[in-house]
Amino acid sequence: MPKEPVTRNDVAEYAGVSTAVVSYVVNEGPRKVAPETRNRVLEAIRVLGYRPNATARALRMGTTRTFGLITPDGGNPLFAELAKAIDKAAASRGYVVLQTSADGDPATERAKIAELLARQVSGLLLVAPTEDPDLTDAEVPAIALNRVLPTISSVRPAYREGARQGVEHLIGHGHRTIDLVVGGDGHSERELGWRDALEAAGLPEGPIARTTFSREGGYLAAQSLLPARPTAIFASSDLQAIGVLRALHESGLRVPEDVAIAAFDGTPETEYAWPPLTVIRQPLEALAREAVRRLIEGEESVEALTFPTDLILRRSCGC
């Protein structure tokens, strides 16, 4: 049964002081309060079960201490992990996170951004946004994660270097051709990293299968690659690698004996894939912390900062 909310007025009355004093006590400033008065107020707060109204506070202060977070798909394990890291980083600074999915659809994305702006979020975190948002008359800092945009600040993993490292590792196992399963628009940095490694080793570019960033995408891509008998495949995401694994199993191919695999991302799912996947792990915690820091500290640099990845060796590459 909903009860009447207890306000600062009730507390003031109960303690026999003015509302200003209650405020001083609650916020420990900006004026000092006599210890005895302070105790009366504290007692009143306790007895009445008073909880300051953050909405009123936000209106007065001009800040909600709330971030808006938009991902393409909250169900994607990578984004779920990233969201969790962001929540943690935000919580440690006293912020909370309004999280929502945009389904990778530009129109939905715009609508969600508008909704979050109307709610006066103190900052916007856009994970892999589909387009450059129009924030010109927004009073709010924004940062893109895992995608570089012209007009807003961004942080991302060192895609190119990470991919290169993964492919180099595969090459180190003696493979002369490394197939690529890649998502996105064909200008991905992960693809460039794959090229870098091949070129550095004087190897020709292997076959490329372009697809979506999903398990099914990886599965279909692998099916298109298999007739040519690949010996090693690099996948641009975990999910794709999982799909690749399935295609290989169905074909009776052994991993890593017949085909070696490595993938970008490194979500927990890969550790329990069969065989366990060698991955380039995204530094999600570092990305989250830096993004939150920039938002809070109002760092306006549009410079796209990059965070180093981790190569995690497991069975799928042949190690």
Partner DNA sequence: TTGAAAGCGATACCAA
Partner DNA sequence: TTGGTATCGCTTTCAA
Q: Is position 265 an interface residue for its own copies (rule: CB under 8 A)?
A: no
Q: Is position 275 an interface residue for DNA (rule: CB under 7 A)?
A: no
Q: At its nearest, how many Å lie between DNA and the CB of residue 89?
A: 24
The contact pattern for its own copies, residues 32-71, with x = CB under 8 A and - = no contact, is -----------------x-xxxxxx-xx----x-x-----
Q: Among DNA, its own copies, none, what binds residue 101 when CB lies within 5 to 8 Å by partner kind?
A: its own copies
Of the ranges 31-39, 84-92, 149-157, 178-186, which one interacts with its own copies (CB under 8 A)?
84-92
Of the ranges 28-36, 87-95, 157-165, 287-295, which one interacts with its own copies (CB under 8 A)?
87-95
Q: Among DNA, its own copies, none, what binds residue 9 when CB lies within 5 to 8 Å by partner kind?
A: DNA
Q: Which residue has the tokens 């948002």?
A: 133
Q: Within a 13 Å sphere around the CA of 202, how many CA atoms are in the beta-carbon half?
A: 1
Q: At its nearest, how many Å lie between DNA and the CB of residue 15?
A: 8
Q: Within a 13 Å sphere around the CA of 50, how many CA atoms are in the beta-carbon half?
A: 22
Strands, sheet with 232-235, edge to edge from the N-terminal-most edge strand: 208-211, 179-183, 232-235, 260-265, 278-281, 310-312
Q: Among DNA, its own copies, none, what binds residue 38 when CB lies within 5 to 8 Å by partner kind?
A: DNA
Q: Within a 13 Å sphere around the CA of 81, how many CA atoms are in the beta-carbon half?
A: 16
Residues 90 and 316: their CA atoms lie apart, in Å, by: 36
The contact pattern for its own copies, residues 118-137, with x = CB under 8 A and - = no contact, is xxx----------------x
Of the ranges 48-56, 194-202, 275-283, 295-303, which one interacts with DNA (CB under 7 A)?
48-56
Q: How many residues bind DNA (CB under 7 A)?
A: 33
Q: At its nearest, how many Å lie between DNA and the CB of residue 70?
A: 22
In 26-133, DSSP assigns E strands to 66-71, 96-101, 123-127
Residues 205 and 196: their CA atoms lie apart, in Å, by: 10
Q: Count other Cβ atoms within 10 Å, centred on residue 234.
A: 33
Q: Is position 31 an interface residue for DNA (rule: CB under 7 A)?
A: yes
Of the ranges 19-27, 98-106, 232-240, 281-289, which one interacts with DNA (CB under 7 A)?
19-27
Interhelix angle 215-225/238-250, rounded to 10 degrees, is 50
Residues 50 and 9: their CA atoms lie apart, in Å, by: 10
Cα angle 221, 104, 151 (rounded to 5 degrees) comes to: 115
Q: Among DNA, its own copies, none, what binds residue 150 when CB lies within 5 to 8 Å by partner kind?
A: none
Q: Residue numbers of the site for DNA (CB under 7 A)?
A: 5, 7-9, 16-24, 26-27, 29-34, 36-38, 51-53, 56-57, 59-62
